[in-house]
Amino acid sequence: MGNSLLQYATVLMLTIFVGTEIIAKVPSILHTPLMSGSNAIHGVILVGSMLILGGATTNLQEVLGFLAVILATLNVVGGFVVTDRMLEMFKPKTQKPKATTNEEVTQ
């Protein structure tokens, strides 16, 4: 038991460094999608919720687990869909203005 705690603590420490390192230089226009994207990632609590409901032996545990799975699914699905919708908007769209200049040239 003590060993596994040490292993988890190691993972924790290393992940803290990875987490701060990978977003140190994000441009501010991406702050919102980044927040939303990491919001979706902590939806991984769905895995924990499934294990809780899957291991439930009393009615109380079943009710709490059931609610947890619903909430966590909202988090995962909503999080990813919203982020995707935001990022969809970042595609550069240049076709339209070009089309009008072409028209003017031909006229």
Partner 1 sequence: MSRETLIDLLYLFSATTFVVALKGLGSPKHARKGNMIAAFGMAVAIVATFFKYVDGHSLHHVWLILLAMFIGFIVAVPTARFVKMTAMPQLVAIFNGVGGGAAALVSITEFVHIKSTHPATYVTLEVLLGVLIGTFSFSGSAIAFAKLQELMTGRPITYPGQQAINGVVGLASAAIIVTILVTSSTPLLWVLFALAFVLGVIFVLPIGGADVPVLISLLNAFTGLAVAASGFTLGSNLLIVAGTLVGASGILLTRLMSKAMGRSLSNVLFSAFGSKVTASGATTRADGASVRSGTPEDIAILLGFASRVVFIPGYGLAVSQGQHVLRELAEVLEKKGIEVFYAIHPVAGRMPGHMNVLLAEANVPYEQLVEMDEANSELQTADVALVVGANDTVNPAAHDDPSSPIYGMPIIKADLAENVVFLKRSMRPGFAGIENELLYNPKTTLVFGDAKDTLTKMVAAVKAS
Q: What's the residue count for the chain?
A: 107
Backbone angles phi, psi at 23, to 5 degrees: -115, 15
**Is 103 a binder of partner 1 (CB under 8 A)?**
no
**Is 8 a binder of partner 1 (CB under 8 A)?**
yes
**Is 81 a binder of partner 1 (CB under 8 A)?**
yes
Q: Which of 6, 59, 94, 105 binds partner 1 (CB under 8 A)?
A: 94
Binding mask 21-60 for partner 1 (x = CB under 8 A): -xxxxxxxxxxxxxxxxxxxxxxxxxxxxxxxxxxxxx-x
Q: How far is the CB of 96 from partner 1 (least distance, A)?
A: 6
**Is 62 a binder of partner 1 (CB under 8 A)?**
yes
User: Residue 98, CB half-sphere, CA atoms under 13 Å: how many?
Assistant: 4
Nearest of 74, 97, 86, 100 to residue 34 by alpha carbon: 86
Rounded to 10 degrees, what is the CA torsion of 17, 23, 25, 28? -150
Q: How far is the CB of 102 from partner 1 (least distance, A)?
A: 14
**Is 102 a binder of partner 1 (CB under 8 A)?**
no
